[in-house]
Structure formats: structure tokens, C-alpha cells
Structure 1
Amino acid sequence: MYRSVRASLRLSGGMFHRRASAARPMLAAYGRGYTSDSSRTVAYTKDKYPGIERSTALNQLSSEDITFFKSILPPTSVITDEDDLSSYNVDWMRKYRGQSAVVLLPKTTEQVAKAPAYCNERSCHIGGNVATNAGGLRLLRYGSLHGTVLGLETVLPDGTVLDNMSTLRKDNTGYDLKQLFIGSEGTLGIITGVSMLTPKRAKSTNVALVGLESFEKVQETFHMAKDMLSEILSAFEFWDHKAAGLVRAHHGVGHKDPLTSQYPFYVLVETQGSDSEHDMAKLNGFLEKLLESSIVDDGVIKSLWSLRELIPEACSKAGAVYKYDVSIPVPKLYTLVEDMRERLAAVGLLGQQVEEVIGYGHVGDGNLHLNITATSYDSKVIY
């Protein structure tokens, strides 16, 4: 089963969302700086990194450029007002601030193609939609975008439209060009159309949360989950006690620890299948085996996804946050968190500028989210 979607998808939080109206890929052209009330507290990124110079080969945005953009797009699709531009120039963590002087919101592939073609001729610097190859929380069950995307329609930097909107599950004719764009983060082109496999929604979903004393026991739990839950295992998430503490601190009593005691590590296991009675029996058997083997001391079957999903927001509420998204072998997954704590403590930052170093992520695909919360953004923490 596949779904073909043209110019109507955006990637958010690892999942595709269909918009009610046609998609509007954002193209941002850079010009001179501006001042805005909503972004005044965020320093320009260029000022944070004074050693990085903008290439003199790139043109500055001109009134002629704006006139051209207005000739190919409706007036409402060319944004130049400073206040309206502010939300596009400052990221959601309020860590970076750009200087785009115009934002374009094309509605069709043809409109998307005209803008890069013009900018390519003028040596302008543009931004665009990115292909992040985000796996999401259930990559363990459904795989990555490299396997689910069947075809792409892409606008290249010179305005050429590459139509590779295949709907075949298997196509051995020539190069598989779509794989170049998946994960390219917009560096090779702007994706305007996607055809992809869309699995049916599972009839039965069950979630369990367990507390563990060490990351070694997290790994033991994972191996047992793969063995006992196998075909219905859809997600296996972990987080440490620092992450759990931030959720409790910034989201109130509604998200208190559901277990009888607090633990160094927590694991959320989700199963998805077609037979609720069968799936629940397997999950119960899995939890009983964990308790009998003394791998876990406490657990509960309850939908507690909010405890995992609120971690990024809790980190942001704690202050400045440095976020790293890395993939490493599972046995070394948490070692990176421990090494970072030791490094920051050795230079006298932990407990001072740096408040917490936390780790959470997807054990199933060896993906760690390493977050460092601090009182403010400081170059000492980076270097």
C-alpha cells in the first residue's frame, strides 16, 4: 500500500503531516539585518561566530529581486515585513537568529522551480525544506525513510524539476536517485513531492514502563524484548533519571513518576498488533520474565508516552540547551553521556554554567539524544 503526495507534506518530529491546503515550501533569501521586538533578545548567529565570513561571491538581496519574486508568486506569498520575518529567522529554541530579508511561500512545484533557478543565476543564498531522514519513535517496527519512500519529486538548485515519483516497491532500472536526497538536509534540492508506503494503523497498541538500576539492565531488557515480543515490538525508548527529573520539575504533578520508586533509568516498551488479547498476553509474559530474572524491580502497563515526549520541552524550559542527536552502538550509547559529564566536571563547568547532562533515545536503532542544559549559551560549553 502506498500513498502519493505532491507538494503537500512537511516533516515534523519524525512524522509526516498532511496539510489542509497545498504545501508551502519556505525559501528564505538573505539580505541586510533588521531589528524586531520578538527577536531582539537573540543575538545574530553571525555575531556569535565572528570568525566565519559570508562569501563575497554571494549577492545582496535587491529591490529587483523582490520585484521578480512578486512576479512569479501571489503578493501574500512574498513576505518582507520585519515583524512577520522574525518568526522565520529565530529558531524555536531561540538559539539561532538569521538575517533573511524575504521569505517565499510557493504553492506549486513550478513556483518552487522558478525561485532557485533565478537565485542560481544571481548567486543568491537561499534556504529551503530539508530532508532530515528522521526515523521517529517507531523506526524499530516500520523502518527508516530509505525503505518507505518509493519516489520523489525534487527541484534542483538550478530550477530543474527531477521527477522520480515512482510507486514501485522494487525498481532495478538504473540509479536509485531518491536515496541521495533522503537525509541530504536540503543541500541537493527542495523536495516537493513524495510517494511512500503507508502501513495500516495497528488494531492493538499496548505500552509498559519499567524502572532499571543500570544501563546494562536496559540492554538486557532490550534483548529480551526482541526475543519475547518479536513481531509486535514497535518502540523501545529509554531515558535517565535526570531527564525524568526535568519532566517532573517543569510539567507538574500531572507527570509524576508512575512507579513506586525512582530509578536511574526508565524504559518504555510499546507493542502494536492485530489481536489485543494475544498482544497483551505476550506483554504480560515479558514483564513477568523481567521480574523473575531480577532485571527490573517495578513496572506498569499504562500509556505513558507523555513522560518520554515531554523531555525535549522540559529541557528547553530548564534554560539554554545544547542538543546532539547521534547514532552509536548500543553498548556504548550511555557511555557518551557519562563521558560528557566527566569532561564538563573536569573543566569546572558542571554545576556552574552547565546544570544537567541528560540522555534519552531509541535503543532499537542506537540513537541517542544527548542534551546539555545550561544557564546561558556560552562558547566555553561548546569548546
Structure 2
Amino acid sequence: MLRTTTRHLAALRHVAQPVVMRQASRASVYKSVTLLSRPYATSNNKVVPLTAEKYPGFTRNDQFKKLTEKDVDHFKGIVGESALIYNNEDDLAAFNTDWMNKYRGQSQLVLKPKTTQQVADILKYCNDQRIAVVPQGGNTGLVGGSIPVFDEVVLSLQSMNSIRSFDDVSGILTADAGCILEGLDNWLNEKGYMMPLDLGAKGSCHIGGNLATNAGGLRLLRYGSLHGTVLGLEVVLPDGSILDSMSTLRKDNTGYDLKQLFIGSEGTIGVITGVSILTPRRPKAVNVALLGLNSYDDVQKAFKQSRSELSEILSAFEFWDNNALQIYKKHSDAKPLMESEYPFYVLIETSGSNKDHDDEKLTSYLENMMVDEVAQDGVVAQDETQIKNIWSVREGFTEALGKEAAVYKYDISMPVPKINECLEDMRQHLKDGGVFGQPDSPIIDVVGYGHVGDGNLHLNIAANRIDKRVPELIEPYLFEWVAKQNGSISAEHGLGVAKNQFLSYSKPEGMIKMMKTIKDLLDPNAILNPYKYLPSK
């Protein structure tokens, strides 16, 4: 049962009714949802529009060679006939379309190398022949970064899935880029360690793709970003040369830290084939609490106090508004966690090595939240099942939103005090634009949830139908708003084809120019993941 907190401290010992929730694995969410974030409709019964047609102005680069039978025969000589898919529309569909059914490419060839040398041989040939290539991992991205736009060759890393080594003293893991994140985490679990990254798509995403997109995840607050936990990379450059930087040293102050260039580069300057990463010990004690609060000011107070009182054991601090809860309830048969509803909710997770110590700290924190009337109500999980139940609410928003007729999804970051102001401003902007608040309006509501600990807001706009006025009102208005706060238009999902043309809202002209210089230097023929990441103008 869940232990319930109320404004009376004695109620911390009271027991609530058992909470029964539909358990959905995080990975399943990323395999079954149909989402929209542009003015078009799609379903399992409709063809996904081609990305090249969806985004005006896309034209195929004439410098890229069109694939020939001779090219295919050459690739067969590298990977073998069984490790490629050619000219088979049904088998190619999974590589040409993303899991959200938002992006669709036109590739006729998928290559599945098993070794770094095969990747090198493929890229060398493609570079010499001017054949465009799209590196692809688990294909769980949200911005079209791993989907071809035209007829680029798909380079799938799914067959490169071996763990190379593990040091159980330092916790340093080396692995192929095609290893699935959850598989690595499960393997480490048996040795008392864990991956420093946790994503909703962990059952499908590859560690190489995580690195290429600099994935953030749910526990960045505790374990930091991949820029800090990755010790070394193995990368194949566009010309086929192998950059071996698979260091297992935690301290190395010799020369430029080149690996950082490839973390978050979305496969545009090199293909990550191997990783050396520092993994933390798996905590022996995990606690999860959910609080109901009356205002966003109280959310900030709760966060500030959690940093002070929970400090070293605080591993996650998530929030969502009541609109997110209503969408979840609409599409879920789960029983409510609390008797009353509140404008805001906070999920707090602690992870440590001493349960008694952690329980005492969390109980003290919760008591202070009640005494100070920062939190109005709350529940504390009593076992692993209840921990999953509480987390399933936070992780269920994506699936619930996907059941609406349309949803416009934005992943942005900004100073923490501005998060709710952004939500309120967008609601008012859509009302002023005539698409929200009226009986016949297409917009159902503006939904907010995310990682308060790192200023990451997932802003979702749910709609009951497609209306071309909606995206025109959102973009670039939202990006301009974020830019005024010195925020980022993409906190953790990347740029791909969805946001590359808006990069100037987050990066000044000088930085964009330098990025293009690096791209031109490492990939002078521009064969790697073309049409994405950097603005075309």
C-alpha cells in the first residue's frame, strides 16, 4: 500500500487504499504510439507523408550518386548478402519510417555491418562514390534525425551489439554502439552497477544513438550528462578512417577532448561504433514520493528544499500540471493516487546505500513540506511495485497524448522560474489566436511536464483535429519566447529535420558558422546525414 501524507504529520503513518495501475513497459510506449507535431493527420490506415514533401524547400542534392546494382554488389562484398536489405519495400519500411509515423524516407538499401572495420569500408566507398548515408540506431528519436529524407543508404548499427569489457572495480564499461540501453542496464544489474542514463525508450534505443543525440533522460539530476560520463569513443569518420579514442581513463589532460564533438552531433560528422562509459553503483535503497501542490511557486520551493535536505540521495525531481493528469486519466484505467486533485504534482526519487538513513531524510523532508504548507498532500511508495506505479503516471503522458487526434510536441529548456510562465503564455497566445477556449476550438489544452532539476519542459499541445492555424501560431512564436529567456529550443531531443532551421534561436551566428566549419572539415562531401542538424542557409 501507499503511505499517504497530509497536512497532519500523524497521517504520515496512515495507510491508503492499494493503488492499481495498468503497467506498461517504457519500451512499449515507444512502439505503439502515433503522434503528430505538424499539420497533417496519420494513423495505421494512412500512408505517412514523405519527409521531402512535408517540409517545403527540400530538394535532393544532385552531387549525391544514385544507387546502382554495382554499388549494391560492392556492399554485399563487405557485409554479406544476409546483412543488407535492398529494394524490398516491406522490409525497408521499418528503417524508412520513425516510430511516431511522422517522418518517412525513400531509401532502397539498408546495411547492417557487424564490425567497425565493415563500417569503415562502407563509409570509405560511400565517400569515394558520393553516396549519402544515414546512421541509424534504435530509431526512437523524435525529430527525424535517423530517418532518410530521400534515397540515402541507411547504416544500421543493430548488429553491433556486443559488450567488449567491464571493470568491476572502477565500473567502466566498453561496448558496441548497437547495444540496447536496457540490455546494458540489465547486464550491469547482475554486477551491482547501472547505466547512468534512463529513458522511456530504453527497451529499444541504442547506446550509440543515445550518445549521438546526447540523450538526457530522467535522472540527469543525479548522474549528469553523457558529456561527463563518457570516457572514450570509437568513431568512423566519413572518409572511412577510424578514430580510436576508447580511453578508460577518468583523468587525461593531453590535447583536445575530441570525443565531445561527436556526443550530440546526430551522426553528421562521424558514426559512433564503440563507447567507454563510467557506470555508477546500483543504489541499495530507492524511495519515491508524489506530492500535490497548489502553485508553481510551491514546486520551486519544494525543489529548492529537496536540494538542501536530500542533497546527495536526490536522483529525480519531476513535475507535471493538472492538464497532464487529466489527459492521462482520460486514456487510462488507473485509480487515482490521491483523493483530491491539485494544480501541480512533483515526483521525488531518492537513491542511496542505507535505507534507514534515506527513509529518515525523506520523512523529514516530507514533514517540512507539510508543516510549511508547501505540499498539500502526497503518497510514498512502500515497495518496488508501488514505485513503478508512481513512475508509470509520469511515463504515461506520452502514450496518453498519442491517443488524441493530434499533439504538437516541444522539448525546451529555460531557467526553472520561467517554466510555468511559458505554459501560461502559450495558453493565452492560442486563445488570442482563436484556436483555444471557444466551443469549436481545435485545441484541447496545453500540457506541461518535465524535469525541473535541469529546467527541461516538455510542452505538449493536444488537439481534437488538424488545423493549419495551430502550427503557424506555435512556430516560431514559441522559439522566440524561449530565445528571450536565453533558453534552448531543444533540451534533449536534438535538431534533426524538425528544428535545424530554427537553430539561430538557440545559438548565435558565430557558433553556427563554426559548426558548419567543423562539418565541412570532417565531412567535405557532406555524405553523412544530409539535410539535417545545421540550417541549410
Shorter-chain TM-score above 0.5:
yes
1:163 matched to 2:244? The reply is yes
Shift of residue 38 of structure 1? 6.7
Residue in 2 aligned with 1:43?
49
Report the Cα distance in structure 2 between the residues aligned to 1:140 and 1:226, rounded to whole angstroms: 10
Relative to the length of structure 1, the TM-score reads 0.86
SS at match of 1:100: coil
Q: 1:258 to 1:94 in 2, by over 3 A?
A: same
Q: How does 1:1-383 map to 2 (within 5 A)?
A: 40-80=46-86, 81-129=88-136, 130=209, 131-252=212-333, 254=334, 256-302=335-381, 303=387, 304-350=390-436, 352-376=441-465, 379-383=468-472
Shift of residue 311 of structure 1? 1.1
SS at match of 1:337: helix
- C-alpha deviations, 1:123-171, integer Å up to 9, x for none? 2221114411112111111111111000000011111110000000010
* 1:236/1:270 contact within 8 Å kept: yes
SS at match of 1:297: strand
* 1:38/1:86 contact within 8 Å kept: no
- C-alpha deviations, 1:282-335, integer Å up to 9, x for none? 111111100100111100102211110111111112232222211211011222
Which one-letter code corresponds to 2:338 in the other structure? L
Shift of residue 62 of structure 1? 2.1
Shift of residue 262 of structure 1? 0.9
Which one-letter code corresponds to 2:227 in the other structure? H
Q: 1:317 to 1:274 in 2, by over 3 A?
A: same
* 1:213/1:265 contact within 8 Å kept: yes
Count matched residues: 347
SS at match of 2:320: strand
Q: Which has the higher contact order (CA 8 A, sep 6+)?
A: 2
Which one-letter code corresponds to 2:416 in the other structure? V
Which one-letter code corresponds to 1:87 in the other structure? A
Report the Cα distance in structure 2 between the residues aligned to 1:218 and 1:44, rounded to whole angstroms: 42
Report the Cα distance in structure 1 between the residues aligned to 2:397 and 2:447, rounded to whole angstroms: 10
More displaced stretch, 90-99 vs 223-232: 90-99
Report the Cα distance in structure 2 between the residues aligned to 1:349 and 1:58, rounded to whole angstroms: 43
Where in structure 1 are there 5+ consecutive unaligned residues?
Answer: 1-12, 15-36
Report the Cα distance in structure 2 between the residues aligned to 1:38 and 1:155, rounded to whole angstroms: 37
SS at match of 2:323: helix
Report the Cα distance in structure 2 between the residues aligned to 1:378 and 1:73, rounded to whole angstroms: 46
More displaced stretch, 221-230 vs 337-346: 337-346
Shift of residue 79 of structure 1? 1.0
More displaced stretch, 75-84 vs 284-293: 75-84
Which one-letter code corresponds to 2:122 in the other structure? A
- C-alpha deviations, 1:106-127, integer Å up to 9, x for none? 1111111122222212222211
Report the Cα distance in structure 2 between the residues aligned to 1:59 and 1:339, rounded to whole angstroms: 48
Q: 1:272 to 1:258 in 2, by over 3 A?
A: same
Shift of residue 355 of structure 1? 2.4
More displaced stretch, 274-283 vs 69-78: 69-78
Q: Which has the higher strand share?
A: 1
SS at match of 2:135: coil
Which one-letter code corresponds to 2:73 in the other structure? T
Report the Cα distance in structure 1 between the residues aligned to 2:425 and 2:58, rounded to whole angstroms: 29
Residue in 2 aligned with 1:19?
none
Report the Cα distance in structure 1 between the residues aligned to 2:53 and 2:323, rounded to whole angstroms: 33
Which one-letter code corresponds to 2:442 in the other structure? Q
Shift of residue 366 of structure 1? 0.8
Report the Cα distance in structure 2 between the residues aligned to 1:180 and 1:314, rounded to whole angstroms: 36
Shift of residue 195 of structure 1? 0.4
Report the Cα distance in structure 1 between the residues aligned to 2:90 and 2:298, rounded to whole angstroms: 51
Which one-letter code corresponds to 1:61 in the other structure? L
Shift of residue 379 of structure 1? 4.4
Report the Cα distance in structure 1 between the residues aligned to 2:48 and 2:423, rounded to whole angstroms: 28
Which one-letter code corresponds to 1:363 in the other structure? V
Report the Cα distance in structure 2 between the residues aligned to 1:374 and 1:77, rounded to whole angstroms: 42
Relative to the length of structure 2, the TM-score reads 0.62
Which one-letter code corresponds to 2:414 in the other structure? I
SS at match of 1:290: helix
Report the Cα distance in structure 2 between the residues aligned to 1:377 and 1:239, rounded to whole angstroms: 25
* 1:212/1:263 contact within 8 Å kept: yes
- C-alpha deviations, 1:16-45, integer Å up to 9, x for none? xxxxxxxxxxxxxxxxxxxxx978521112
* 1:39/1:90 contact within 8 Å kept: no
SS at match of 1:153: strand
RMSD of the alignment, in Å? 1.9
Report the Cα distance in structure 1 between the residues aligned to 2:125 and 2:464, rounded to whole angstroms: 44
Report the Cα distance in structure 1 between the residues aligned to 2:461 and 2:79, rounded to whole angstroms: 42
* 1:39/1:86 contact within 8 Å kept: no
SS at match of 1:120: helix
